[in-house]
Structure 1
Amino acid sequence: MGIMATTTEEALPPLAPQQLLSLLYLASPSLPIGAFAYSGGLESAIELGWVNDEACLIDWCQGVMGEALGQLDVPVLLRLHRAWQDGDQSAISHWNAFVRANRETRELLFEDEQLGSAMCRLLKGLERLPEWLPERPGFLTLYAATCVNFGIDARQAALTWLWSYLENQVAVACKTIPLGQSKAQQVLMALMPHLEQVLARAERLGDDELGATLPGLAQASAWHETQYSRLFRS
């Protein structure tokens, strides 16, 4: 069975003003965790010639969101959100370790670890760091905890996670293809409806169905480790 009986075909719960502001805060590129320094393999894909224009970028983002984030990050985020709500430390530790085990390259794991460490420092400074954390908490685990702390619904949190990923990828493309600003906005608008589809699919997945299935992404990430000239850390 999937994590939830509800789907995004139902109306998302209304957001109180403070919840909306909290979502905008977490989605902001200016959140001081250094996410702008990582491309998640896209810089390598651009170097290899796999992504070189608007259409290729749409295909890349749609594929990664559908077959990687939608199969791993988003369904695990939903489970982590519930576990933090329930105070289920065993489940939190399990899913945190599960995500670590599914990061297919050194750089992808490093990205998750470094963003998690930065999020820890930020939450500590804001006096919102949970009293308990699993061993080596990753960014996804801390993001879920923060959303619960802010009173943000799990599906709203997942859509925000997807939007942050998409916005980051477009920013990477603008710097490295390079992609013009108008084209960048067209990519965002074209993929916006796809986010809800990714979430709806993720909600239906059972525990034994989770896992990313993009060997090309893993290859691009692995090759990035030895790429001669690069702007990003992954």
Structure 2
Amino acid sequence: MSSRPSLQASLRLMQLADSAFPSGSFTQSFGLETFIQRGDINNSRHLAGYMATYLYYTWRVTDLLAVRLAWQAARALNMNKLMVLDKRLHAMKLPYESREGSVKMGKRLRRILGEIDPAYQPAGRLPWCHHAIVFGHYGALASELEPLLAAYAHAAVVSLVANGVRAIPLGQTDGQQVIARLQPLAEVCINWALTATEQEWGGSAPALDWAGMAHEGLYSRIFMS
């Protein structure tokens, strides 16, 4: 793979982590909307508590570590490993809508990257194209691992908090306060993902899985998951 100057790579990561990047994350709540409609989350404190649980017990041990594993496989030019990682991540995501949301975001990310970066060669043989796998594969093109994980963490936090702000609803300042409150936890998650083994990959919080599954049956919905 070709390399880029570090500043250009950093700017590209900022582009991918920007809330305006059209990955489709604004259509996904990954079960958050279920709790909001039940009345369990109706203020910024509730949203921060939910996000902390989601990040540490579900996202950290699935998507975040998947980015690192995909980055390593891509750096080693091991396409077969990338395919296995994509299949395993698909099996980890129990709620159907959350699983499909991750796939839709990954396919959209892959398509956009192919249009904005001539150096990017899409991983065409991926069975599902989960967002974390595509993100890690692309990051191997130039990015070092720690800033790549930081960009992915920022994008995940900002997009889900923004969706919570829309659905509750809250003010924009409330949303920014929640994001700031979550940054120390995001650092904890990143540091863990930097050193975790593949055997530690996988986990969930049953209540969050239930919310993702129950979302399909909500009478009215803003989000697709």
Tell me if 1:130 matches 2:130.
no
Kindly report structure 1 stretches of 4+ aligned residues shifted beyond 6 Å: none
1:38 to 28, 41, 56: 28
1:155 to 146, 163, 167: 146
Q: Which residue of 1 aligns with 2:73?
A: 83
Q: Which residue of 2 aligns with 1:29?
A: 19
Q: Secondary structure at the match of 2:217?
A: coil
TM-score by length of 2: 0.91
Describe the shift of the 1:191–1:131 C-alpha distance in structure 2 as closer, same or farther (beyond 3 A). closer
Tell me if 1:200 matches 2:157.
no
Query: How do 1:70-219 and structure 2 match up within 5 A?
Result: 70-126=60-116, 127=118, 128-130=120-122, 132-149=124-141, 151-219=142-210
Describe the shift of the 1:82–1:37 C-alpha distance in structure 2 as closer, same or farther (beyond 3 A). same
Query: How do 1:58-73 and structure 2 match up within 5 A?
Result: 58-73=48-63
**Matched-pair contact (CA < 8 Å) for 2:93–2:99:** yes
- Structure 2 regions of 5+ residues with no counterpart? none
Shift of 1:50: 2.1
Matches of 2:45 and 2:88, distance apart in 1: 33
**Matched-pair contact (CA < 8 Å) for 1:41–1:224:** yes
Q: Secondary structure at the match of 1:203?
A: helix
Q: Secondary structure at the match of 1:225?
A: helix
Shift of 1:131: 5.8
% identity of equivalent residues: 23
Describe the shift of the 1:96–1:192 C-alpha distance in structure 2 as closer, same or farther (beyond 3 A). same
Matches of 1:91 and 1:158, distance apart in 2: 19
Could you report, residue by residue, the CA deviation over 1:16-71 in whole angstroms, capped at 9, with x for unpaired residues? 32122111111112222221111111111111222111111111111111111111
Shift of 1:124: 2.9
Letter in 2 for 1:80: A
Letter in 2 for 1:161: Y
Could you report, residue by residue, the CA deviation over 1:102-122 in whole angstroms, capped at 9, with x for unpaired residues? 011110111011112212321
Q: What's the C-alpha RMSD, in Å, of the aligned pairs?
A: 1.6
**Matched-pair contact (CA < 8 Å) for 2:64–2:132:** no
- Structure 1 regions of 5+ residues with no counterpart? 1-14
Matches of 1:204 and 1:122, distance apart in 2: 30
Q: Which has the higher helix share?
A: 2
Q: Which residue of 2 aligns with 1:7?
A: none
Describe the shift of the 1:117–1:131 C-alpha distance in structure 2 as closer, same or farther (beyond 3 A). closer
TM-score by length of 1: 0.88
